[in-house]
Chain A
Amino acid sequence: MSLLEVENLRVHFHDAAPDRFAVDGVSFSMEEGDILGLVGESGTGKTVTSMCIGGLLPRWKADTQGSIRLDGTEIFDCSQKELNEILGKELTVVFQEPMTSFNPVYRIGRQIGESLYVHRKDLSQSQRNELILDAMRRAGLYEAEEISRRYPHELSGGMLQRAMIAAAIVTNPKLLIADEITTALDVTMQARIIDQLKRLNRESGMSILFISHDMHVVNRLCRQVIVMQRGRIVESGLTKEIFANPQHEYTKRLIAAIPSRYSGR
């Protein structure tokens, strides 16, 4: 059994035209320990797909069809209560905007420990603190104690993004969804975050669904890749092969969009 199986996923927003599907028949699967890239320009349905996997798309906003099974559990059949049991524990999400994804009025440490607060009420405060600091170091925040006492506005974008990763791995979930997490960062910071994700995958076997529009970043991180355009999958397979020999016109354009110093031409 695969860790994640998405079958014929269709999403229609209530305010869109009747025949316009944000996600239009997407199917893919992920094995445990995989790093899967999901690429495409903005507006191709990558984020909507990830929101569906987390059950985070409100029902009053959109209709969904198809099936999403995480570790055998059908997400679309879950009640909100059952979903809340999975979110933050089995599956966590890191969003694109690190600056606004944190609550501005609380300290970083407390917010990194949020999943523990929700799912590990059995732990004492000091046990939770240990796990928080450990997660921060694993995410590359080595001055963990000092940083945990700061407020979001006192940290840089790169540090906040690593803090978000720390918050997402503090419960050691099976699957981490990283939605455009390197987009707002400079190239050096991108490289460091990618290395951090690779290490997390290697050391704790965490599966990562990596969403990006940047073929270069995906090429460095993911063994397999799915290319999406207008809500549909246009190409998928091993990243290496697709990079070397793209079949679809859209994939070729995405690869061509990388500045030449990356593609080695």
Chain B
Amino acid sequence: MRQIIKKTASLIITLFIVSLLAFLAFQIIPGDPTTKILGTSASPEKVAALRTQLGLDRPVWERYIDWLVSFLKGDFGTSYNYMRPVRSLLADKLPVTVLLTVMSFAITAAAAIPLGIVLGSIRNALADHLTMILDQIIMAVPPFFFGIIACYLFGIVLKWFLPGGYVPLSASIPGCLSYLLLPALSLALPRIAMTVRMLRGSIRHELTQNYVLTAQSRGMPLRAILIRHVMRNAMIPVVTFLAVSAAEIMTGTIIIEQVFTIPGIGRLLVSSIGNRDFPVVQAIVVILAAWIMIVNFIADLLNHWMDPRMRSE
């Protein structure tokens, strides 16, 4: 319990630091939102007036504190580009990205765990060798490449779906889910390959442990030993790795949303950086950081529950 409180506190402090860094980064990189709004030929008076209106003439620290206070109140500011509250922008785009992330993560876990168990427990050297070569290849290919291939093959050649024809969740739930399936799969494939490799190695390592011999000497069949003894131990490092995967999948949506033209926060982030739309970028960066920390926090909790040695530290 005390560890949970300590972890939560460090989580909040980290989020605070991340938001400060994101804020400062925008002070350093060149470019000004007024240029985007007014165009490059605007008169200096007009630019100055807009800067005052947006509050950009005030010192950095003052603006940061203002932002932080209103952020804590739940007000994420107003987008310079869309002239809409960031909150309502995110309310439109975040569910799509979350859905894509959840689908992709579910595919990763559902495919990698059974495959890892099978590959970890077989003793056929040839089959193992071949699957590991395939695994290495899939692991090395980036998701956007799978995405492009999928768009070409299933969209243009086979015409199973219309690339760029995103179906909103509100229009048709099955339509939206089936459109998101290919991008989710593209994001999942390399993660599946990595997780399979890790779980396979973890199971093999655990099978050489003395407690396996103990279980054998009790007359327990290998299958039961795998389920009853090996799996929990083998999953401990894999859980941490899956948390990293969940984080990487969400950040991976930034690129895959471009490939499949999905209107999620990834696309919003890319266009907002281009437009120097600070409030939007700031909010998305904090959301991504919070997500990464939350999944790691959940992994820590799971590990504590799975491994009693961690509890007594």
Chain B residue nearest to A177 in the complex (CB):
B217
Q: Which of A115, A153, A167 contacts B219 (CB 8 A)?
A: A115
Q: Which of B209, B216, B229, B233 contacts A56 (CB 8 A)?
A: B216
Chain A residue nearest to B211 in the complex (CB):
A103
Q: Are B219 and A87 in contact (CB under 8 A)?
A: yes
Q: Given known contacts A60-B123, A105-B232, A105-B306, is B210 in contact with A100 (CB within 8 Å)?
A: yes
Chain B residue nearest to A86 in the complex (CB):
B219
B312 within 8 A of A: yes
Q: Are A105 and B219 in contact (CB under 8 A)?
A: no
Q: Are B307 and A54 in contact (CB under 8 A)?
A: no
A155 within 8 A of B: no
Residues of B within 8 A of A151 (CB): 308-309, 312
B218 within 8 A of A: yes
Taking CB atoms and an 8 Å cut-off, the chain A residues in 55-70 that contact chain B are: 56, 60
Q: Are A100 and B211 in contact (CB under 8 A)?
A: yes
| Interface CB pairs A-B, < 8 A, 30 | A56-B216, A60-B123, A83-B219, A84-B219, A84-B220, A84-B221, A88-B217, A89-B219, A92-B218, A95-B210, A95-B217, A100-B211, A101-B211, A102-B214, A104-B211, A104-B233, A104-B309, A105-B232, A106-B232, A114-B220, A115-B218, A115-B219, A118-B218, A118-B219, A118-B220, A119-B219, A151-B309, A153-B312, A164-B214, A167-B214
B213 within 8 A of A: yes
Q: Given known contacts A101-B210, A103-B229, is B219 in contact with A88 (CB within 8 Å)?
A: yes
A85–B220 Cα distance when bound, in Å, is: 9
Q: Interface code B215-238, partner A: CB below 8 Å = 1, 0 otherwise?
A: 111111100100001001100100
Q: How far is the CB of B245 from chain A (nearest CB, A)?
A: 23
Q: How far is the CB of A141 from chain B (nearest CB, A)?
A: 17
A187–B224 Cα distance when bound, in Å, is: 38
Residues of B within 8 A of A118 (CB): 218-220, 224
Q: How far is the CB of A66 from chain B (nearest CB, A)?
A: 21
Q: Which 4 A-B pairs have the closest CB atoms?
A: A88-B218, A87-B219, A88-B219, A84-B219
Residues of A within 8 A of B211 (CB): 100-104
Q: Are A97 and B216 in contact (CB under 8 A)?
A: no
Q: Are A85 and B307 in contact (CB under 8 A)?
A: no
Residues of A within 8 A of B306 (CB): 105
Residues of B within 8 A of A125 (CB): none
A80–B220 Cα distance when bound, in Å, is: 10
Q: How far is the CB of A183 from chain B (nearest CB, A)?
A: 14
A93 within 8 A of B: yes
Q: Given known contacts A56-B213, A56-B216, A60-B123, is B308 in contact with A104 (CB within 8 Å)?
A: yes
Q: Are B209 and A100 in contact (CB under 8 A)?
A: yes
Q: How far is the CB of A120 from chain B (nearest CB, A)?
A: 11
Please, how many residues of chain B have a CB less than 8 angstroms from a CB on the other chain? 23
Residues of B within 8 A of A56 (CB): 213, 216-217
Q: Are B221 and A80 in contact (CB under 8 A)?
A: yes
Q: How far is the CB of B274 from chain A (nearest CB, A)?
A: 50
Q: Are B220 and A88 in contact (CB under 8 A)?
A: yes
Q: Interface code A16-39, partner B: CB below 8 Å = 1, 0 otherwise?
A: 000000000000000000000000
Q: Interface code B191-222, partner A: CB below 8 Å = 1, 0 otherwise?
A: 00000000000000000011101111111110
Q: Are A87 and B216 in contact (CB under 8 A)?
A: yes
Q: How far is the CB of A113 from chain B (nearest CB, A)?
A: 10
Residues of A within 8 A of B214 (CB): 95, 101-103, 111, 114, 164, 167
Q: Which of B215, B218, B224, B308 contacts A105 (CB 8 A)?
A: B308
Residues of A within 8 A of B233 (CB): 103-105
Residues of B within 8 A of A77 (CB): none
Q: Are B218 and A114 in contact (CB under 8 A)?
A: yes
Q: Are A87 and B217 in contact (CB under 8 A)?
A: yes
A241 within 8 A of B: no
A56–B210 Cα distance when bound, in Å, is: 12
A115–B220 Cα distance when bound, in Å, is: 8
Q: Interface code B71-111, partner A: CB below 8 Å = 1, 0 otherwise?
A: 00000000000000000000000000000000000000000
Q: How far is the CB of A124 from chain B (nearest CB, A)?
A: 19
Q: A103-B233, A164-B214 are in contact. List 19 more A-B contacts (CB 8 A).
A: A56-B216, A87-B216, A87-B219, A89-B219, A100-B211, A101-B210, A101-B213, A102-B211, A103-B211, A103-B214, A103-B215, A103-B229, A104-B307, A105-B232, A105-B306, A106-B229, A106-B232, A115-B219, A118-B220
A101–B306 Cα distance when bound, in Å, is: 19
A74 within 8 A of B: no
Q: Are A54 and B221 in contact (CB under 8 A)?
A: no
A111–B309 Cα distance when bound, in Å, is: 16
A154 within 8 A of B: yes
A89–B220 Cα distance when bound, in Å, is: 11
Residues of A within 8 A of B309 (CB): 104-105, 151, 153
Q: Are B218 and A154 in contact (CB under 8 A)?
A: no
